[in-house]
Each structure stands twice: as structure tokens, then as C-alpha cells.
Structure 1
Amino acid sequence: MRAYAPFTFADTAAQSPDPLAPDLSERVARVVSDLRLGLPAILTQGGDHAMILPVETLSPARFAALSGQCQLVLTAYRAAALGVQETAGDVSVIQMPPKADLDWLKAAADPRRPWTQPAPQGAAQMAGDIHHAVIRLVKRAELVPAALVVTGPWVSQNAARHGFGTLPAVDVIAQLDAARDMHPVSDARVPMAAASAGRLHVFRAPDGGAEHYAIQVGTPDPDQPVLVRLHSACFTGDVLGSLKCDCGPQLQAALAAMNAAGSGVLLYLNQEGRGIGLANKMRAYGLQDQGLDTVEANHHLGFADDERDFRIGASLLRQMGIDQVRLMTNNPAKIARLTSDGIKVVERVPLMVGRGPENSRYLDIKASKSGHMM
């Protein structure tokens, strides 16, 4: 395995002409944090400034203090669930009715709330960079993907007065769409029940995002195809032993297979709920209890079928000096992503475990709607 140097703060500071100034990735990360707290941020497009506020964290006091033209921005998935027909690509812009209150906003954003209003009409204008950027930011914050966009002279005045984070929308889109290269932070021996010769490697993104892990079993030979699994975090399945999915059995079976083979690497990617976060995953579970399947529940919340970024897995493998793998997966999207990122998948190793009465429908939907090879 490749010996890599620990990542240090100097690595990020060196990217900026002024070592103390935040770079673009750090400024975007600060805005994401502000939005999770319920603080507004400012996005610019040309000479226009817009205040953005996620609906989920918008407080009554802040909503009452707003002034100017207000638009509700939703994903096309959520807009379709509300009966909105006019969308621009993956984003829908809805003009706020004059008498709409915060309850109207919350109900439009969250399918768990009763929606008794007539279907809102999409705006005539096409969605711009600001609308696309705010949806990406709110998704990165793992909030319900719905936000209020406020424009007018009042916005610039308050941005300067309160020091809200301000970024060009086009730069936000480019930053959030870019691959996130991970850097090693620490590693140590961790003997496990499934594999006594275990070692845990921790990786971190320079923007301070979620850490991801590589669980090394034995001593893989990087000159030979390494047995690898990309496993997305599943608190309910991996920790609680939930019967609604097959994640826990897949995790344990993969480690056991690596132990039996003598070596392997399990990448544990912190992309809970197919990348929507645990809170949204529980919202989706609630919708599933009402009869929706996993894909339909994601769409009603405003998310795509799968929001995960498997480029992270390729980055971790490169850091470990691995460029050819025997991939344990039933998901063709993982094979395609690793291949496109320069990792040679010499063999797919099926992982057929964990089917039961509680998750049969879930697994069938994986096959019929997500193309999993079950």
C-alpha cells in the first residue's frame, strides 16, 4: 500500500495568494454552515444580488422581516409532486402569492405537511444560476431542497449591514459540482470481529466536509486487482440492524469475504440515505410507510433517486495507490463511476445477502428502477 503524508492546514492555505484568506471552497463551506443555522446568504448573478434562505431553517421572525420580491425555488421532482407543470430543467421557480405565509412555504417544501392549497404556478422566467446554485447549496447542507430567494435594493443594504456570506452563483455551482479530492488524516490498526487484521484510514476533504473511511483488511497488493467494496453509510442498517434494507448484511459479508481472501479494502463513504442525510432519510421512511417506494419517496422530498458522489471512492483508492479492483457490488453506477475516474474494474463480485420480508420490495425497486443487478 502507498505510504502517504498526513494532510496539513498548510496545504489549503498555500492555494490562496493571501495565506490567511479563505479560498472558494472554504467560503462555500461557510455559506453551507450558515444555511444550516438558518442564516441568510447572498448569491450574485451579473449585477443582481439575491438573499437565499432554506425553507426548513427559516424562522418566523426572519420571514416576517423580509422585504422585496420573493420566489420559492424547488426541484422539479418536488414541483411535480405539488402539481406544478412549468419547470426549467431540474429546478422550478414559483412566485410567492401575495398572502402566502410561512405555513404555506413549509407545506410546499415538506410533503409530510398537509397541502390544501391550489397547485402554485411556475414562474414564466427561466431558472437562472442563482436558482440552480441555491438548490445545490441546500442539498449540500442536507436540508429539504427548497429555498426562498429574495431580490430588491433591500437585499444589498442588509448584506452589507450584517456581513452575510456573498458569492457569485456561477462559482458556487462550479465548486459544488467539482470532484472532492480527499486527503489522509490518520490511520491505525483496528482488529474486528469480521477481520482481525484490520486497519482504519480516515480521509478528509479540504473544505471541512464529511470524513470518509477506508477499512483495510490484511495487506492488499496494489500490483494486483484489490478486492474492494464502496459502502455508503447506513446508520439504521449498519448500527441498528434495520430490516428495511440490506446494508448491514452487505457490510459484514464484504468484510468476511475480504478476510477469507486474505486482503481487501472497504470504503465507508459518509453519504447516508443515498446522499440525502439521515434526517431526510427518516422523512423518506415516513413517506414509505404511507405507501411510496424508495424512489417515489425521494422524489416527493425533492431529491433524485440517488444523490451520492462515487468520485469520492475513486479519490480514496488513488490515495491508497490502488488503480485496479475486483469490485463487490450489485450497482452498475459504481462500476461506471470508478471506470470513468481511471480505476480499472477487472471483475464484478456479486453481493447477494440480506433479503427478507421487510426489505423485499426495497430490493425489487433497486432492480427495477435503479438498475441494480439483483
Structure 2
Amino acid sequence: MEHVERCLFDLRRGLPIRLRDDTVDVLIWPVEHLDENALGRLRHVADDNPALVVTGHRLASVKAIASQANETSNARIGITAADAADDVIRWACTPNVEIDAGRIGSGPDDNIDTLALFLMRCALLIPAAVVATIGVDTRGELDTDVDTRDLLSIEPATVHAYEAGRPEPLKRVSESEVPLADASSTRFVVFREPDGMREHIAILIGDSQHWPTPVPVRLHSACLTGDLFGSLRCDCGEQLRGSVAAIGKRGGGVLLYLAQEGRGIGLANKMRAYHLQDDGLDTIDADQVLGFSEDERRYTIASEMLAALDIHTIDLLTNNPAKLDAMRQNGIAVAARQAIYGDLTPQNRGYLNAKATRAGHWLDNLLDHSAER
């Protein structure tokens, strides 16, 4: 697993990685860091023209083939000798782009394309990569780069094992009392994922010996702009503070603060999505133009944290049906659900409306009440 984590670090630095076993040998470059030098390097090592690998969500946003796109399928876009790095980047993440349908097809090994996109997501990069099959004449050159540690090489099976799940549990690493304005008796418990990439916080409100049954619980994904800076584009900060206050008033419970910024796409991609929203896209379309699904979050971590705290039956504070379903699928009984709203403002109305109409969030009471005013 450590080898995968090193690959993720290199990808975030803008370096390529090599996927190799007895049947495949490819060089993968994150499109987010593509330039002419990188494209030249890919062309040099390839036994054929390299290709851009994109998600089905991205493909569905491409004008020329939107009606033919399958959001569950990856695709390759062929790169010719005449194409520039800027062209490739535009195909990967620019809205309203048109691509000749003749360039688009599937790769010789969809398994490799799927792993390449998985690694980009794990590295919180745009889910698009340029892939080149390494030619016989340049294989020795790359072997030397691997030997000198200038290039990381990893077997597809190792990435598959990483994707399948962590063999080790979350680690409870530290904790302390942290009194809050809306709940003065509060303890922060920090959990670290086994790969060391992310830390999540369980905020224990009140005395656990006197918590109600079922335990009030809120799953709150980190939102730097809303939680810390009070952004008006969302209602996250109000939901965070409102949840802490509500749990405190009910006699205590738990708020899980999960490191899943931007519905799991990361802060940099969230800002890219905001820029697309400024040009008229809603929150879901903006994410899909970048190649993401409508929600990249996974809540297995939340269920593991609750189990570690010996909490198995909860009263869930949420408007999101996906959270309720995820808890039940991961062994946490949801005995009740409570809505938790922020204020509806001119700046967040479109965002909340898209969540309600396109993602099925239970926001009708909030939106209908506002419409009646």
C-alpha cells in the first residue's frame, strides 16, 4: 500500500508513474500537469500515439457526442502529432468543447484506464490522464529511470488491492477537550486513515454516559469556504454550527467532521467548479464537466468512526438520503432522521435547488417556505 501512496504523492507533484506487469507497460501523466515537455516525453516513449483517458461523466459533457455518451464508461481521446498540450487540457476539463467523434473510443485495456482515473481521484487531481504504451525501444530507458528512483513503477494488482479497501482500521491518534461556543462540553477525537493521507475528527458533544438513545449524529464534510470563512455560496457553515447547537440541546451526541472537501473532489477542484458555476453551470454539471460524478464522497470512514466509538444506532441529522443509505449499508442502524437547514440566500438558492431537484436532497420544506414569503 505504501507504494501506491508514493505514486499519489508523485502525481500531485506533476510527475508521471509507470504501470507495469507481465501484460502491460504504460506511462501515465496527470493532465493537470501536462505541458509540451510532458507531451513530448510521452510521444518519445510510446509505441503509438498517446491518448487522453477521461471519465464517462466528462465525455457526457462534450458537445459533439453528448447524446452518445455513457456516464459509466471511460473513454480514450486520440492525440495526434499535430495536437498541443493546451488542446489536450481543453478536451479534459473545458466546458462547451467539441471533439471529433472519430477521435473517441475505448482503450485496449479498460482496466488500465480505470486504474489511471482512480489514481487521479485519490490524488485529488482532475480525473483525466494521458496514457502511453511504452515501446520496446524505450523500455530500457525507463527501466533506468526506475532504478535511479527518477520514476516510480507499480503493478496494476497493487493498485487494485489499494482500491479494494484498507486492510488496517482507522487509527485513533489524539484527543482533547475543546469547548465550543454552542457546546461548552466538547471533546475532539482525531482519526487518521492507514495511508496517512487524511485525518477526520469525531466531535463528542456532552457526556457520553448521558447521551440520548438513539445517539444524535451529524456527518459533516469539510467545507473550508463555508465552515471557516462564512461563504454565502453554500449553507455548510450554518449547518455545522446549527448541528453542534442542536446536538448539545438534545443532551449530546457526535458530529463527524470528514475530510471530504467539495463533495470529495478536493479544494482545488472545488474552486474550478465554482468558476464554472460563475459561467452559468449548476453545482452538479460543474463537477461533471471536470469529470466527477455528482458526489464523490464515501461514508465507510464515518461508519468505522462510529463503530470505534461504540455507537451502532443513531438519529441522523441530514437532508441527504445518500448518507442515510450509506450508514445502513455499513452496519449503522438509523432509527430516526432530523432535518438540518441553513438560511436560504440569493447566493445559495441555485446551489440548494440543484441539490434538491437533481441529487434528491430533502430540502422541500426550506425551498417551499422561502417561496411563500
Equivalence for 2:26: 50
Equivalence for 2:303: 314
The answer to whether the 8 Å contact 2:172/2:191 transfers is: yes
The answer to whether the 8 Å contact 2:34/2:89 transfers is: no
The answer to whether the 8 Å contact 1:88/1:127 transfers is: no
Equivalence for 1:91: 74
Cα shift at 1:78: 1.2
User: Relative contact order (alpha carbons < 8 A, sep ≥ 6): 1 or 2 greater?
Assistant: 1
Cα shift at 1:107: 1.0
Equivalence for 2:126: 144
Pair 247,167 (structure 1): closer, same or farther in 2 beyond 3 Å: same
Residue 191, structure 1, aligned to residue 179, structure 2: yes
Residue 134, structure 1, aligned to residue 116, structure 2: yes
Equivalence for 1:363: 352
1:79 maps to a residue whose letter is L
Q: Of residues 169, 178, 202 in structure 1, which corresponds to 2:165?
A: 178
Q: Give matches, 1:201-350, under 5 Å.
A: 201-221=189-209, 224-350=213-339
2:323 maps to a residue whose letter is K
Runs of 4+ in 1 over 6 A off after TM superposition: none
TM-score by length of 1: 0.88
Cα shift at 1:126: 5.6
The answer to whether the 8 Å contact 2:51/2:78 transfers is: yes
1:138 maps to a residue whose letter is M
The answer to whether the 8 Å contact 1:88/1:126 transfers is: no
Cα shift at 1:57: 1.4
Equivalence for 1:122: 104
Q: Give matches, 1:31-42, under 5 Å.
A: 31-42=7-18
In structure 1, distance between residues paired with 2:3 and 2:358: 37
Cα shift at 1:86: 6.3
Q: Structure 1 stretch 215-224 or stretch 185-194: which is displaced more?
A: 215-224
Q: Structure 1 stretch 53-62 or stretch 321-330: which is displaced more?
A: 53-62
Cα shift at 1:324: 1.0
In structure 1, distance between residues paired with 2:19 and 2:138: 10
Equivalence for 1:106: 89
Cα shift at 1:359: 1.0
Equivalence for 2:370: none
Pair 47,213 (structure 1): closer, same or farther in 2 beyond 3 Å: same
In structure 1, distance between residues paired with 2:169 and 2:281: 36
Give the number of the structure whose residues are more often helix, by fraction: 2
Pair 127,299 (structure 1): closer, same or farther in 2 beyond 3 Å: farther
In structure 2, distance between residues paired with 1:26 and 1:120: 40
The answer to whether the 8 Å contact 1:239/1:248 transfers is: yes
The answer to whether the 8 Å contact 1:314/1:338 transfers is: yes
In structure 1, distance between residues paired with 2:174 and 2:333: 26
Cα shift at 1:125: 4.4
Cα shift at 1:209: 1.2
In structure 1, distance between residues paired with 2:269 and 2:137: 33
1:72 maps to a residue whose letter is L
2:13 maps to a residue whose letter is L
1:206 maps to a residue whose letter is P
**Any idea what SS the aligned residue of 2:140 has?**
helix
RMSD: 2.1
Equivalence for 1:75: 55
Q: Deviations over 1:72-100 (max 9, x none)?
A: 10011112222344669431112212311
In structure 2, distance between residues paired with 1:130 and 1:156: 18
The answer to whether the 8 Å contact 1:227/1:326 transfers is: yes
1:208 maps to a residue whose letter is G
Cα shift at 1:224: 3.3
The answer to whether the 8 Å contact 2:206/2:251 transfers is: yes
**Any idea what SS the aligned residue of 1:56 has?**
helix
The answer to whether the 8 Å contact 1:43/1:169 transfers is: yes
Pair 260,87 (structure 1): closer, same or farther in 2 beyond 3 Å: closer
